[in-house]
Amino acid sequence: MAALDLLRMGVGAFLTFCGFLFMLGGAIGVLRFPDFYTRLHAARAADGVGAAIFLVGLAVLSGDAGVMLRLLVLGVLIVALAPIMAHLSANAAHVGGLAPLAGPYKAPRPGAQRDAP
């Protein structure tokens, strides 16, 4: 029985780490991309999948079937609701008049003086 528990812990830790890496990629995208729409895409595309994989990993790690079921239901809800929330956020920004950046984006050089808006 100890070998099965060790295998379960290894698979759960691997899935949890993979989900964390997806969410880390989304966070880096939010920090790196230039405007709201590209940041929204990075956050919703990576974080929805990453959170679901993370929760599946936690479900595998949990020893209780009730906790496992709750975590899996939460993962399904996140996967189902992440695109809806992204659409609502983008629609609200568009209706509010927020235009995406047009043309090539030029990142400011470190230490350079920024232009006042």
pLDDT digits (tens, 9 = 90+) for 19-70: 999 999 999 988 888 888 889 988 888 888 999 999 999 999 998 899 999 9
pLDDT in tens, 84-101: 999 999 899 888 888 887
CA of 3: how far to CAs of 10, 32, 61, 63, 103, in Å? 11, 43, 14, 14, 57
Q: Which of 57, 50, 86 is nearest to 72 (CA)?
A: 57
pTM passes above 0.85? no
Nearest partner of 18 among 68, 63, 56, 71, judged by Cα: 56
